[in-house]
Amino acid sequence: MTFKLTLSHDATFADLQQVSPAQWYAMPTIESGHFDNLKYQGDTFRVWLSRMSRRDYDEGPEGTTAYTAERMTVEQLIGGRWVKLDRYGRPVAE
């Protein structure tokens, strides 16, 4: 089933966070990267969802995995380049 979500090209970070993971995964893929599918690209933000499964990651302490933290990546166009954001909308130092 394909989910049709209407997000404007000038959506804010807060707008993107209102979409559930299930809704993101149901959206059509715009582009496929090595490990992720691009689900949204606006004027300022884009959203990638991982195609990796839990089996693709090693277990961490107390059963946690990187899979849990890396299922969705939001990037913002800053100074002409796409910058990864943390879950609060702040640029991640790389």
Single pTM value for the model: 0.76
Residue 33 falls inside a structural domain? yes
Residues 22-47 have pLDDT tens digits of: 888 889 999 998 889 999 999 999 99
What's the distance, Cα to Cα, between the start and end of the chain in Å? 36
Tell which wins on pLDDT, 53 or 11.
11
Residue 92 falls inside a structural domain? no
Categorize the per-residue pLDDT at 1 as very low, low, confident or very high, splitting at 50, 70 and 90: very low
Domain with 24, as residue range(s), is: 13-85
Residues 43-86 have pLDDT tens digits of: 999 999 988 765 655 655 555 544 445 578 999 999 999 999 98
Looking at this protein, which amino acid is placed at residue 17?
A: Q
Residue 5 falls inside a structural domain? no
Pair 1, 25: CB distance under 8 Å: no
Residue 93 falls inside a structural domain? no
Number of domain units in the chain: 1
Residue 1 falls inside a structural domain? no
Model pLDDT, residue 63: 54
Residue 36 falls inside a structural domain? yes
